[in-house]
Structure 1
Amino acid sequence: MPLHLTQTFRHRLAETTRPLAGMWVCSGSPVMAEIAAGAGLDWVLIDMEHSPNGLASVLAQLQAVAAYPSLPVVRVSSGDSVTIKQVLDLGAQNILVPMVSTPQQAHDVVAAMHYPPRGVRGIGSAFARSGRWSRVEGYLRDADDHVALFVQVETAEGVDNAAAIAAVDGIDGVFVGPGDLAASMGLIGQQMHPEVIAAVLRAFESVKAAGKPVGVNAFDPTQAESYLDAGAQFILVGADVALVARGSEALTARWTRRGTIPGT
């Protein structure tokens, strides 16, 4: 039973000639994950950092998305090696680690992604979806080919170290997070502040100079277009919970502000 290399975000980015567009799935719902994947997005980000997701719900979302070409990427809650091991064993092939600000942190999460002697990932694929319960021939031998690691640069320190982080062997790309970056710069809630945008663009240049793909989060369409013009190769432009929140607010505005019922 083969695992397809095209299921890694690293390979998909290497093959594409255009930026890859995706959205967050923050609800913890496999139904929402399937709706997003079925819409034709290039990728969906299943979030464990700021969402009500545990291992069981992430597994259900990975299974739901598996029927579609859209690639699932799981953002783990931290660079903890146990968490990364467990999410990989769920069958996640693409991991995003938040809050990586130093080259040493990058080295540590690379080690968590890989079996010895390269890393420290525990061996349990015979019991797990990762190796399809020993149905994937040579999984332990070839596991490095079947996983991809992206890290999130989202602090001022991370921007300063972006080139060194991106240069670490095993880092397949860097995703810039303007929200936490703004907070680290003393500009909390001001993702569109010129100084924050300038810091994002500095990170872009550093990562690209290291020869790695760079991505970014941008819910504002104008800013998203600007980041794409600046060379972002992958981008998140929405979230399931935000779409439902704004859509339900629009329904409320449209249908609860009418006048009295005729004849009453």
Structure 2
Amino acid sequence: MGSESEYPTALTTKVQNPRLRLLNKLRSGDYPLMTFVAIPSVRQAQIVALTGLDGIIMDCEHGHIGDDAMHNSVSAIAALGVSPIIRIRGPAHDIIKRALDTGAHGIMVPQINNAKEAQQIVDSSKFPPQGVRGQGSAFPAIGHGLTTPEYMKTANQTIITMIQIETKAGVENVEAIAAVPGVDCLFIGPNDLAQSLLGYTPARGDEPEFVAALDKIVKAGRKYGKWVARMVNNGMVAKEVRSTFDTVAITGDTKAIQNWYMAEFDIARS
């Protein structure tokens, strides 16, 4: 086990809040399931939230989601007892602040390459004295089912900070990234990781360099007591990797819609 923060984090918190479904399932080892949502619609968010999953990652990096849809979807998801996570488009302080002020239960930050970048994310996502996040909105407490004073006391140790490891530099520096107090989860982006390491995507899955990178990320997470997660394409793969990962995101809304229709049309034309 690596060095511990003087502050409690999502990994060590004693706070009990039944609204925080993803956090509670991670802490109890229940292998929560997530998915990505890229389409900017409150109704889409509600439909996905009612499928029985535990967390929805609003994809503000690659999805068609702006500020308005981000706020509305987070509110709708949280109201249905599911944890909204926002994948932000980059690690800038104002972007992190804006995402957390929706009431999201966590953030996912893409393409982190070193410990300095990871530390900046932690600083921006925590209120003082632990970080430099500012307070001025009534909205974030709503997503946690709390008053604003209650939220201010608990947010630093209940919001999940997910760091995406999906570049060659990120893999090389993954131990230092995992050692940063306040980084709660290492999330593997397999497609970008394959592109960075192999020059193509998707990976077949048996390339030695790719397999070694996955192993290195998982070992770093375990060494420093962090959760490890990844994206998978379907439920079968999610089942196969259950012994390795703490949680997975099973594809996303755009793929799910296309896959269902294509399969049904293939049957209809057969």
TM-score (norm 1): 0.86
Pick from 164, 167, 171 the counterpart of residue 152 of structure 1. 164
The answer on whether the counterparts of 2:19 and 2:81 sit within 8 Å (CA) in structure 1 is: no
- In structure 1, the partner of 2:216 is 202
Match of 1:105 in 2: 117
1:77 is displaced (CA, Å) by: 0.8
Q: In the alignment, which of 250, 253, 266 is matched to residue 237 of structure 1?
A: 250
Aligned mate of 1:24, from 33, 36, 61: 36
Contact kept in structure 2, 1:9 and 1:71, CA below 8 Å: yes
Of 55, 58, 71 in structure 1, the residue corresponding to residue 83 of structure 2 is: 71
Q: Deviations over 1:6-64 (max 9, x none)?
A: 5174443112x331112111112222211111111121111101001111101111122
- State whether structure 2 residue 144 is matched by structure 1 residue 131: no
Deviations 1:135-154 (A, max 9, x none): 43344344313422111111
| Mapped partners of 2:88, 2:224: distance in 1 | 24
TM-score (norm 2): 0.84
CA distance in 1, matches of 2:235, 2:106: 26
In the other structure, the counterpart of 2:240 is 226
Aligned pair count reads 252
Q: What is the RMSD of the two structures over their aligned residues, measured on CA atoms?
A: 2.5
Question: In the TM superposition, what is the alpha-carbon distance from 1:69 to its structure 2 partner?
Answer: 2.9
Please give the alpha-carbon distance, in whole angstroms, between the structure 1 residues aligned to 2:130 and 2:20: 22
Of residues 155, 170, 185, the one that matches 2:197 is: 185
| Cα distance in 2 for residues equivalent to 1:129 and 1:67 | 13
> Is the CA contact 2:22–2:54 (under 8 Å) kept in the aligned structure 1?
no
1:11–1:247 distance in 2 versus 1, CA, 3 Å = closer
Residue 234 of structure 1 and its aligned partner are, at CA, apart by 0.4
Cα deviation, residue 221, structure 1? 4.5
Q: Which of these two proteins has the greater Rg computed from alpha carbons? A: 1
Distance 1:131 1:222, change over 3 A: closer
Task: Give the corresponding residue for 1:215.
Answer: 229
For residues 218 and 21 of structure 2, the distance between their equivalents in structure 1, rounded to whole angstroms, comes to 22
Gaps of 5+ in 2: 1-15
Q: Which has the higher contact order (CA 8 A, sep 6+)?
A: 2
Q: Give the Cα separation in 2 of the matches to 1:8 and 1:97.
A: 20
Contact 2:83 2:105 in 1 (8 A): no
